[in-house]
Amino acid sequence: QVQLAESGGGSVQAGDSLRLSCAGSGRTFSSSAMGWFRQAPGKEREFVGAISWGGGIDYADSVKGRFTISRDNAKNTLYLQMSSLEPEDTAAYHCVAGPYISRYAHAYNYWGQGTQVTVSS
C-alpha cells in the first residue's frame, strides 16, 4: 500500500508564505498523480492542485498564481509552495495520490491525515 504524510503547516499572517511537504512510502506506480485538497470547518472539500508523474499540472483558480506544486520522484515527495496567503486559505491540507490528475476527490485512492494551515488577517 501507499502511505502519505504531510508536514509544514502552521499559523501565519496574511501575505506570508509556507511550504508543505508530503512524503510517500510503500508501493506506487510511475504514472501516479499526486495532489492537494483542503477542507475548512463547515465547508466542502476543495481541490487545490495536482501533478502527474511526468510533470503535468492542474491548479484551482483560487490558488493559481500564488501556489506552486512540484514533486521529486526519486524521493517520492510532493511539495506545495504557498505565497501571498489569505485568510480564505485557512484549512486542513491533505496530500492525495491516485492513477491520474482530477479535480474530484473520488479519483484519488490514497489520502494523508492532513496538516493545518491558519492565516490571520
Over residues 15-63, the pLDDT tens digits come to 999 999 999 987 665 558 999 999 999 999 999 999 998 889 999 999 9
Listed residue (75, 40, 73, 37) closest to 54, CA to CA? 73
In tens, the pLDDT along 102-114 reads 999 999 999 999 9
SS3 66: coil
Specify burial of residue 101 (Cβ count, 10 A radius: 0-12, 13-18, 19+). Answer: middle
- CA 84 to chain centroid, in Å, comes to 16
Is residue 67's pLDDT more than 80?
A: yes
Q: What is the pLDDT of residue 111?
A: 95
